[in-house]
Amino acid sequence: MTTQRQIRQNTVLLALCLVTLSGVLQLAAAVATITLVLVTGIESVLGLGPAIFLTAGALAALPAGRLMDRYGRVPVLAGGFVVGLVGCVLTALGCVGDSAPLVILGFLGVGGMNGAVLLARTAVADMYPEPRKARAISYVLFGALFGAALGPLVFRPLFAGKELELDTLIVPWFAAAAMCVVGLILTLAIRPDPRTVAFELERAGLAPGAEPTTEPAAPLGQILRRPGVPAAVVAAVASLAVMASVMNLSGYIVVGHDHEQADVFTVISVHIVGMFGLVLVVGQLVDRVGRHRALIGGLLVMAVSTVLLAWVIQIPGMSLSLFLLGLGWNVSYVAASAELVTHAKPVERQGLVGFTDLIAGLSAAALALIGGLAYSEWGVVAIAVGATVAVFGPAVWLSVARRPPAVAPEAA
């Protein structure tokens, strides 16, 4: 039987995995747009870099989730870091050789890592009973807050005082590869696998003498029709798609307002603080006020942030906008993730979450690509209006939709 000490240790390790992931993603968010523009020389493709990155993450999420349900959480998380390591190295080599194909392959690898490793947020829920799942997810997401400090600490000095050229990007991408190595080491230290703990909790919740179910995972279409699942999927897709697309375009927006490239890391860091800085409070808040209310509230906060983006041009104002964007995502996404794992069995959870991430990632990629084109034609106001509609509409739908029935708590 897994001990509480092992569960706490696994929780810390999963959180540290998100620390390293967050550090790499800061670099991708800050320079993905500019890297591809520099190797192609075409400004109109500025949304293509984030779109490639987000599409790769989306396409990786569903198979990664299904593999987790079949073989365990640790092997897939470890594989994700290996793919990310290769992606960072390829991107660095693409900058060395001024090669767009290598950079694109690298972005695919980094995006694939994100799709797999981000599932760590729900892997931790395997180890906690129903009343504490949202709080457990918040524990792991809190780790990404330290990635907000790790990014500027590592990358800002590498850009300080330098002209933005391909040569400037080589060392940062190799540094990101080193972060992936650290993440791999942390992942391999996780024991036992969280899926094993989930099966133990399932057995502990059964009546004396009863045997655990051996039924395979239900078809995905059936799972998606369960009460509570559609609302959670809609909120997860809307919040992640808008947050990721705006975040990945923010680096170019900052430079477009005539700020220095190094200033991008300030805005991105504040954004990540918004995403994860209050996550421990958010996890408890979601468990207390109810997940349905949290889904709506988070989307509305995001709507305020995207409206604000149309008006601010200085770094403090942009930082506030991106902070609120991250905070709203935090509330909606923690609530949505807790709902998804609640309405699925251990052999269904990561597949359901992976499917949701697939739809969210593809939506984010589409928004980033469209947003890049819109920015080239009409400026930042076009991005702000589109993003606001994309989160406010689902918030209105959720506010009038029927709330799902409460789920009976699992045994502790």
- Give the tens place of pLDDT for each residue, 125-162: 889 887 788 788 888 888 777 776 676 677 777 877 77
Q: How many separate helices (H) and strands (E) can be counted in the chain? A: 16, 0
Closest by CA position to 195, among listed 114, 136, 139, 122 = 122
pTM across the whole model: 0.76
Tell me the C-alpha distance between 42 and 33, whole Å: 11
Instruction: Please choose, from the candidates 195, 209, 235, 193, the residue with its C-alpha nearest in 3D space to the C-alpha of residue 344.
Output: 195
Q: Which two tokens stand for residue 115?
A: 């799709």
pLDDT of residue 332: 94
More confident residue, 323 or 277: 323
Specify whether the CB–CB gap between 46 and 174 falls below 8 A: no
290: left (phi over 0), alpha (psi -120 to 50) or beta: left
Residue 210: pLDDT band (50, 70, 90) is very low
Virtual torsion, Cα 195, 200, 203, 209, nearest 10 deg: 140
Q: What is the pLDDT of residue 141?
A: 80
Domain extents for the chain? 4-202+219-400
3-state secondary structure 33-102: HHHHHHHHCCHHHCCHHHHHHHHHHHHHHHHHHHHHHHHCHHHHHHHHHHHHHHHHHHHHHHHHHCCHHH
Structure confidence at residue 355 (pLDDT): 94
Output the pLDDT for position 406: 52
Helix or strand run (H / E) with residue 349: helix 349-378
In whole angstroms, give the CA distance from residue 302 to residue 284. 20
For residue 376, give Cα distances in angstroms to 55, 272, 337, 370: 21, 26, 35, 10
Q: Which CATH number among 1.20.1250.20, 3.30.470.30, 2.40.50.100, 3.60.15.10 corresponds to the domain 4-202+219-400?
A: 1.20.1250.20
What pLDDT, on the 0 to 100 scale, is given for residue 408? Answer: 42
Least confident interval from 11-25, 109-123, 302-316, 368-382 = 368-382
pLDDT for 359-406, tens place per residue?
A: 998 998 888 888 888 887 888 899 999 999 999 999 999 998 766 555
d(CA 326, CA 335): 14
